């Protein structure tokens, strides 16, 4: 757990800018959003003598981030790696322990709120998406599954042909590369971490009033009557083994109509 650290506005701005520039430098070197964003934030704080992780741990965690590039494992499916890395660091700084979480599931909200407010909402505003494929498409009208070798060739061809649009291949930082997700993600996460470090460790774990009391421990007894009523109403049709669309067809046309329509082998309910 990192204790409270006073960070004045001048130092905060230096850290944020350093994180952005390092995300660009490391991003171009690694061509991988998640590890570049993670390493950039760590190194930006280290430049002001603030160590978020011991060096050996930082290296191991950076290695783990490689598989989170390109959504998940370069497939484009999943959250942008810059968001994943940013959220990971924010969560580490908030510092909820597994022991604390096992006693109070509500504490899941503690790192989630700053991640949403500082990073995720800003990605939505700037890029119109948080998942890798849509985010890339919104930026450059290209979104490929990079596990396909041909797609990798096409990506680099496009990057070289449209340097400013791609960003990573842009000739100058201000003209293109400062628009990339790792750069912006690193800046936004660095800002969040600065603000979190200015709090006492226990203060970082406080949950907004409207989200308190939503843990299973608190809600279970209060929801018992509601659950019983829903069971009596057969809510969610727990005994049905087909989709709602099939259920609707079954009700309108019977078992024969459903099985004539279905291409698969799953049998309609008796």
- One-letter-per-residue 3-state SS of 103-121: HCHHHHHHHHHHHHHHHHH
Residue 249 token pair:
């067809």
Strand partners, 42: none
pLDDT above 90 for 242: no
Write out pLDDT tens, residues 183-216: 999 999 999 999 999 999 999 999 988 888 888 7
Write out pLDDT tens, residues 33-52: 999 999 999 999 999 999 99
Strand partners, 79: 131
Per cent of the chain over pLDDT 70 is: 83
d(CA 234, CA 237): 5
- Cβ neighbours around 229 below 10 Å, total: 10
- Residue 14 pLDDT: 97
Query: Domain locations in the chain?
Result: 9-213, 219-261
DSSP, collapsed to helix, strand or coil, labels residue 79 as strand
pLDDT above 80 for 254: no
Confidence of residue 222 (pLDDT cuts 50, 70, 90): confident
Residue 36 token pair:
């570049």
The secondary structure of 212-237, three-state, reads CCCCHHHHHHHHHHHHHHHHHCCCCC
d(CA 176, CA 196): 30
Closest C-alpha among 192, 193, 170 to residue 180: 170
121-136: average pLDDT: 93
pLDDT above 80 for 63: yes
Chain-centroid distance of CA 143 in Å reads 18
Q: What is the pTM of this model?
A: 0.81
Q: State how far the alpha carbon of 190 is from the alpha carbons of 224, 239, 259, in Å.
A: 43, 49, 57
Q: State how far the alpha carbon of 75 is from the alpha carbons of 23, 95, 158, 205, in Å.
A: 22, 30, 18, 34
């Amino acid at each position: 757990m990192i204790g409270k650290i006073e960070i004045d506005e001048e130092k905060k701005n230096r850290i944020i800018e350093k994180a952005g520039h390092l995300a660009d430098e490391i991003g171009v070197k690694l061509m991988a959003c998640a590890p570049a964003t993670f390493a950039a934030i760590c190194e930006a704080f280290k430049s002001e003598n603030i160590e978020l992780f011991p060096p050996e741990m930082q290296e191991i965690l950076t290695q783990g981030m490689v598989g989170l590039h390109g959504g998940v494992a370069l497939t484009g499916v999943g959250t942008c790696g810059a968001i994943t890395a940013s959220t990971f660091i924010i969560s580490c700084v908030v510092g909820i322990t597994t022991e604390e979480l096992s006693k109070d599931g509500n504490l899941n909200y503690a790192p989630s709120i700053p991640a949403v407010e500082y990073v995720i909402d800003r990605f939505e505003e700037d890029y119109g998406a948080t998942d890798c494929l849509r985010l890339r498409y919104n930026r450059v009208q290209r979104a490929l599954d990079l596990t396909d070798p041909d797609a990798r060739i096409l990506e680099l061809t496009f990057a070289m042909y449209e340097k400013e649009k791609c960003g990573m291949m842009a000739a100058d930082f201000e003209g293109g590369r400062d628009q990339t997700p790792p750069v912006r993600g690193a800046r936004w996460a660095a800002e969040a971490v600065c603000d979190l470090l200015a709090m006492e460790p226990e203060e970082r774990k406080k949950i907004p009033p409207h989200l308190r009391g939503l843990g299973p421990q608190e809600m279970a007894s209060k929801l018992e009557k509601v659950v019983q009523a829903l069971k009596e109403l057969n809510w969610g049709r727990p005994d049905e083994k087909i989709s709602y669309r099939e259920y609707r067809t079954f009700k309108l046309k019977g078992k024969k109509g459903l099985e004539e329509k279905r291409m698969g082998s799953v049998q309609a309910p008796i």
